[in-house]
Amino acid sequence: MTAEKKWVWDDRYDYLRDTRDLYYNEDYLEFLVRIVWKLDRPVDMIDFGCGYGYLGLKLLPLLPEGSTYTGIDRSGELLKRARDAFQGTSYRAEFVEADLEGEVELDRRYDLAVCHALLLHLPDPVRTLGRMAGCVREGGRVICFEPHWIGGMAGHQSGEGDASEVVPLGVLQKLYEDGRQRTGRDGNIGLKLPAYFSRLGLRSVECRVSDKVNFLDPRSGERERQELFHALKQEGVGTMPGERGDFVQGLLDRGLSLREAEAQYEAERLYAERFQVDSPLAYAPGMKITFGTVGPQRIEGSFLKF
C-alpha cells in the first residue's frame, strides 16, 4: 500500500505563520470591519483556503459576538494547526478538508465568503470566485485579500539608494505575465479582481490596499530586528538567487534575453548582499482587498454546485 501523497502546503505552516503579519496593522482590519463593511450583527463566515485559520483568528475578535467561522482547505496538516489554534477559544468554528478545485457542494447560508492569498495559486480563479459567491446569502459579501505582485515589488526601498538597482520592475512584470500564460496562476490577480467581481454580477464592488509598511530599523532592539528580518527573508525579500548558470538558464527558458537574465541575476545578488539584519529597509506589500455584495441568485435549488 503506497503512502498518501502530501499536499504542497502541508509543510508551509512556518512560512505562513511568520509572514502574515507583514500585511496589516490591527487597527486597519478593525477599520474595515466596523467602518467600511459595517458588520454590526453576527455573521456566518466561510474561509476558502483557510490554512491554519489566519483570517478567522484575525476577524472573529472584531466581529459581533455570535459570529461563526467555517474553514475549508485541502491541507490536512494546516487544518490540524487550525483546530489547535481555535481549541480553548469561545469561537464557533468548524473545519472541512476538501479540494477547492474539485467538486464541492456548499449550502447558500453564509453572510461572508473570504479568502486570503488563495486565488493567485489557482489556474481558474474565476471558478472559485463563483463558488464563493454561490454560497453567500443575498446581501452578503465576498471579500478577497490577494496580492498584486508587481505593485508589491514597487514597495521595496533598501537604504537611500535607487530601488531600480535591485528591483527591475520591467523584467519582473514580464516574468509574472509569462508565469500566468504558462500556468494560469496569476500573482497580479489583486488588481484584476474588481473586474472579475463585476463579471460575476456582484454589486457595489470596491478595492482597498493594505496599510502596513514594514521598516527594518538598524536602531531598533535586537530581538525586534531579528524577528522582522526573519519574516522578510521568509517572504523572499533579499534572498540569494542561487547558482548563476542554473538561474540564468531558467530565465532564458522563460523567454528573457541573455542580457536580461544576467542583469536580473546581478540585481538579486546585489539585493541579497545589501540586505542584512542591520540594514535599513522599508517594505510595503500593498495587499489588495476586493469586496462586493451578492445580489439575487439566478441559480435554482438550495445547493449550488460548480
What percent of the chain has pLDDT above 90? 87
Q: Please report where in the chains the cell 443575498 appears, as a residue.
A: 138
How far is it, in rounded angstroms, from Cα 178 to Cα 96? 34
**What is the average pLDDT score of the chain?**
92
State the pLDDT at residue 174.
Answer: 94
Q: Residue 50 pLDDT > 50, yes or no?
A: yes
How far is it, in rounded angstroms, from Cα 119 to Cα 135? 17
Q: What are phi and psi of 169, to 5 degrees?
A: -65, -35
- Of the candidates 122, 116, 68, which has an alpha carbon nearest to the alpha carbon of residue 95? 68
How far is it, in rounded angstroms, from Cα 140 to Cα 43? 9
Tell me the pLDDT band of 238, cut-offs 50, 70 and 90. Answer: very high
Average pLDDT over residues 112-132: 96
In total, the chain counts a number of residues equal to 306
How far is it, in rounded angstroms, from Cα 55 to Cα 134? 20
State the pLDDT at residue 273.
Answer: 93
Tell me the pLDDT band of 102, cut-offs 50, 70 and 90. Answer: confident
Q: Residue 188 pLDDT > 70, yes or no?
A: yes
Tell me the pLDDT band of 154, cut-offs 50, 70 and 90. Answer: very high
| Distance linking the first and last C-alpha atoms of the chain | 33
Sign of CA dihedral 48, 21, 177, 155: positive
State the pLDDT at residue 237.
Answer: 95
- Of the candidates 89, 12, 98, which has an alpha carbon nearest to the alpha carbon of residue 56? 89
State the pLDDT at residue 301.
Answer: 34
Average pLDDT over residues 88-108: 89
State the pLDDT at residue 125.
Answer: 94
Helix boundaries (H) for the chain = 13-19, 26-31, 54-59, 76-86, 125-134, 149-153, 169-183, 193-199, 222-235, 244-253, 258-274
pTM recorded for the entire structure: 0.92
Domains and CATH numbers, the chain: 8-148+187-212+285-300 (3.40.50.150), 153-184+214-283 (1.10.150.350)
Q: Among 103-107, 204-208, 257-261, 271-275, which is the least confidently predicted range?
A: 103-107
For residue 126, give the C-alpha cell. 474565476
Q: Please report where in the chains the cell 501523497 appears, as a residue.
A: 5
How far is it, in rounded angstroms, from Cα 167 to Cα 155? 10
Q: For the residues of 225-273, what is the DSSP string, one character each?
A: HHHHHHHHHHHTTT-----HHHHHHHHHHTT--HHHHHHHHHHHHHHHH
Judge whether 33 and 39 are in contact, CB under 8 Å.
yes
Tell me the pLDDT band of 4, cut-offs 50, 70 and 90. Answer: low
State the pLDDT at residue 105.
Answer: 81
Q: Is 238 left (phi over 0), alpha (psi -120 to 50) or beta?
A: left
Distances from the Cα of 10 to the Cα of 51, 92, 234, angstroms: 9, 24, 16
Q: Among 201-205, 231-235, 300-304, which is the least confidently predicted range?
A: 300-304
Write out pLDDT tens, residues 282-304: 999 999 999 999 998 644 333 34
H or E element at residue 136: strand 136-146
Tell me the pLDDT band of 5, cut-offs 50, 70 and 90. Answer: low
For residue 81, give the C-alpha cell. 494547526
Top-confidence residue, 111 or 295: 111
State the pLDDT at residue 58.
Answer: 97
State the pLDDT at residue 159.
Answer: 85
State the pLDDT at residue 7.
Answer: 76
